[in-house]
Structure formats: structure tokens, C-alpha cells
Chains A and B, each alone.
Chain A
Amino acid sequence: MLCTNAFDQEGFLRKLSDWEPQVAEQIARAEGLELTCAHWEILHLLRDYYREYDASPAMRPLVKYCALQLGADKGRSIYLMSLFPGSPAKLGSKIAGLPKPDNCL
């Protein structure tokens, strides 16, 4: 368990290196989400995206990246919305321990 100081006001991790799977579970719990394999698939994909492009994705590129990496079935905003309700790019990035996407409302 990380203490509250480890997170900013919006609940994003301050230090990316603090992230580990247990931390993801902790953030997800705080957001009222139970992580399933389907969630983890997207969380790993988000972390891959960050490693590749040095940025957290906005919704549009996230959808496209999912389509490229996981196939057209999963590269749809409705699929991502079903896993991470509200703003998938923002909520997913938060649980994956990444910075808040720059271009997110």
C-alpha cells in the first residue's frame, strides 16, 4: 500500500517508478473498479504505449493503438468505456501508473 502522499490531487502517481501491479489494484479499488484480465490487457498496452511514445495517449490514439495491437474487436471506444467508464484514456492511465494525458478533458 502506498500512502496518499504518493498521489497527486487527482489520484495520479507522482513517481512513475512507484508503480507495481499491487499499486494498480490499490488505485482501481479507490476508483471502485475490480481489475479483470481484460483490464490488465489494456493496462499493459497503456504502459507499452508510454514506453514507445513517451506520452500517455488521448482517447483517439488509444483506440487506434488497441485496434493495431489487439484487433478491431477491442479497438473500439465502447469496449474501452465498458472497462474504464467515463474517460478510458484518463482512468486507464491513472491505474497504469502513467501521467494524466495532456489532451484529455
Chain B
Amino acid sequence: MGAVDKKSVLVVVRRSPYGSSLARASLDVALAAAAFEQPLRLLFMGDGVLQLLAKQESEAIGVKNIGRLLTSLPLYDIERVYVDAAAATRYGIDLSNAPVTTQALDGPGIHQLMTDCDHVLGF
């Protein structure tokens, strides 16, 4: 963990981008925490990896584009973004074309990440 005195927060995103409002809500929590300079990490797991699809055309269903929102994460200084490698493979997500740069983790890596963070918020 290093010498960070603030509590570290991990937001776990497990919802597909447009199936419910929870996908968007989880990102809003992450952005709000980051706006208040809380050290924050983001993990896309399970169905949540679908948020990392390139070229989401959500305009067709009249909702905000989550892919484009994700490209703004660096402006919020959210640089530590992780993805469940197995889920990404299962869904055939091309991580090199994802809206945000991620670090892929295997099962033990995910376990370690959750252990390392003071708070884990799951959606």
C-alpha cells in the first residue's frame, strides 16, 4: 500500500453499461470521490467489462455514452483502473481499444487488490 494517509477506495463495477442505471451510478460515485481528491481505484468485473467496449453508440437509445465518460477518467486523476482478465476474455473485449487504459488482473490479483484497499464499494 505505500504511505498514503487517506483511506483508499476501490469501486467495483459489475454491471453492463446500459442494462440498468447502476452502471452509471457506480461511475458517478467514482467521479464524485475523485473530485474530492480521494485516492480511488476502479475495477471492472463480470458483466461490468462490457463498459469497456469501444464505440458505444448509446445515442440510439437516448442515454449518456458511458464509453465517452470513461475517456474522461484521466482528467479526474483516476489512473488506476483494473479489469477482470477472465471476464474480458469471455466477452471478447479488445482492451487495447477500450475507452480507458486498464491493467488486467487474474483471480489472485483481484483478491490482492481488494485486500489492499481500505474500502470496497460494489455495484
Contact = CB atoms under 8 A, between A and B. Distances in A.
A54 B77 contact: no
A55 interface: yes
Interface string B38-74: 0000000000000000000000000011001101100
A103 B75 contact: no
Contacts of A60: 34-35, 37, 75-77
Interface residues of A, number: 13
B32 interface: yes
Contacts of B71: 52-53
A58 interface: yes
A59 B32 CA distance: 11
Nearest to A49: B72
Interface centre among A52, A59, A60 (most CB of B within 10 A): A60
B72 A53 contact: yes
Nearest to A67: B75
B31 to A, nearest CB: 5
B68 A65 contact: no
A21 interface: no
Interface in A28-62: 52-55, 57-61
A102 to B, nearest CB: 6
Interface of B: 28, 31-32, 34-35, 37, 64-65, 68-69, 71-72, 75-77
30 contacts: A52-B72, A53-B68, A53-B69, A53-B71, A54-B64, A54-B65, A54-B68, A55-B64, A55-B68, A55-B72, A57-B72, A57-B75, A58-B31, A58-B32, A58-B35, A58-B76, A59-B35, A60-B34, A60-B35, A60-B75, A60-B77, A61-B35, A61-B72, A61-B75, A64-B77, A102-B31, A102-B32, A103-B31, A103-B32, A103-B35
